[in-house]
Structure 1
Amino acid sequence: MKFWLVALGLPLLGWCVLLGLRLLVYLGADSAAKGWDQAREAELSRLMRRGRRSQQVLAVSLRTALGAAGEGCGLLNGNSALRARLSWQERSARHSRLVVDEALSLERRLIDPLAAVLGDLAVVLAKLPADRPLALLLETSNSIEEQRLVEAWAEAWRLSGIRQTTTRLEGSGPAVIDNWLDRRIEDQALLLVVAYQFAPEQVDGSAEAVVGLLFGNRLTQSTIMPMAYLHRPEAAENAVEECMSKALHQALDWVPLAACEVSSVWAAGSDATGHSLMTQAFDKAGLPVSASAGLHDLDAVLGHAGCASPWLAIAAASESIRDGGGAQFICSGGSSTGAWSWCSVVMPADR
Structure 2
Amino acid sequence: IQLDGLLSRIEVLTSQPTRLDEAVVRHSRLSGAKHEDLEKVLLGIFSQVLAELAQTLTHLPDEKPLALLLEVESGLSPGQWRPAWQRAWNASGIRQSAVPVEGQGLVALDQWLDQRIDDQALLLVVALQFALLQPEGKAEAAVGLLLGNRLTQTTLPPIAYLHRPEQARAPTPEALMYATRQALDWVPLDAQSIEQIWRAGTAAQYQTAISTVLAEVPMPVKHNQGLIDLDALLGHPGTTSPWLAIAAATQAIQRSAGPQFIFSGDSAVDAGLWSTVLVPVLPLSTKES
Q: CA deviation at 1:258?
A: 0.9
Q: CA deviation at 1:99?
A: 1.5
Partner of 1:254: 186
Q: CA deviation at 1:292?
A: 4.5
Partner of 1:191: 123
Q: Distance in 1 between matches of 2:36 and 2:12?
A: 21
Amino acid at match of 2:241: S
Provide the identity percentage: 46
Q: Does 1:301 align with 2:221?
A: no
Q: Does 1:73 align with 2:73?
A: no
Amino acid at match of 1:181: L
Q: CA deviation at 1:131?
A: 1.0
Q: Gapped runs of 5+ residues in structure 2? A: none
Q: CA deviation at 1:106?
A: 0.8
SS in 2 for 1:200: coil
Q: CA deviation at 1:108?
A: 1.1
Deviation sequence 1:39-70 (CA, Å, 0-9, x none): xxxxxxxxxxxxxxxxxxxxxxx5xxxxxxxx
Partner of 1:11: none
Deviation sequence 1:86-129 (CA, Å, 0-9, x none): 11121010000001223420111111121101110000001001
SS in 1 for 2:211: helix
Q: Gapped runs of 5+ residues in structure 1? A: 1-61, 63-70
Partner of 2:94: 162
> In 2, are the aligned partners of 1:186 and 1:217 still within 8 Å (CA)?
yes
If the length of structure 1 is used for normalisation, what is the TM-score? 0.78
Q: CA deviation at 1:288?
A: 1.2
Partner residue of 1:105 out of 37, 40, 48 = 37
Q: Distance in 2 between matches of 1:149 and 1:237?
A: 33
Taking a change above 3 Å as real, the CA distance of residues 337 and 206 of structure 1, as seen in their structure-2 partners, is closer
Amino acid at match of 2:273: S
Deviation sequence 1:127-163 (CA, Å, 0-9, x none): 0011110000011110102211110111111232211
SS in 2 for 1:174: helix
Q: Single out whichever of 329-338 and 79-88 deviates more from structure 2.
A: 329-338
Matches within 5 A, 1:125-140: 125-140=57-72
Q: Single out whichever of 272-281 and 141-150 deviates more from structure 2.
A: 272-281
Partner of 2:113: 181
Taking a change above 3 Å as real, the CA distance of residues 337 and 178 of structure 1, as seen in their structure-2 partners, is farther
Partner residue of 1:311 out of 231, 240, 243 = 243
Partner of 1:283: 215
Deviation sequence 1:269-297 (CA, Å, 0-9, x none): 01222133212212211211134411000
Q: Distance in 2 between matches of 1:234 and 1:335?
A: 17
Taking a change above 3 Å as real, the CA distance of residues 337 and 79 of structure 1, as seen in their structure-2 partners, is closer
Q: CA deviation at 1:339?
A: 4.1
Q: Distance in 1 between matches of 2:208 and 2:245?
A: 18
Taking a change above 3 Å as real, the CA distance of residues 334 and 102 of structure 1, as seen in their structure-2 partners, is closer
SS in 2 for 1:79: coil
Deviation sequence 1:306-336 (CA, Å, 0-9, x none): 1001110011000100011100001101457
Partner of 1:205: 137
Q: CA deviation at 1:172?
A: 0.9
Taking a change above 3 Å as real, the CA distance of residues 224 and 256 of structure 1, as seen in their structure-2 partners, is same
Aligned CA-pair RMSD:
1.5
Q: Single out whichever of 337-346 and 210-219 deviates more from structure 2.
A: 337-346
If the length of structure 2 is used for normalisation, what is the TM-score? 0.94
**Could you list the runs of 4 or more consecutive aligned residues of structure 1 that deviate by over 3 angstroms after TM superposition?**
334-339
Aligned residues: 282
Partner of 1:86: 17
Partner residue of 1:265 out of 197, 207, 221 = 197
Q: Single out whichever of 161-170 and 282-291 deviates more from structure 2.
A: 282-291
Q: Distance in 1 between matches of 2:222 and 2:280?
A: 22
Asked which structure has the greater CA Rg, the reply is 1
Q: Distance in 1 between matches of 2:29 and 2:267?
A: 21
Taking a change above 3 Å as real, the CA distance of residues 223 and 279 of structure 1, as seen in their structure-2 partners, is same
> In 2, are the aligned partners of 1:264 and 1:327 still within 8 Å (CA)?
yes
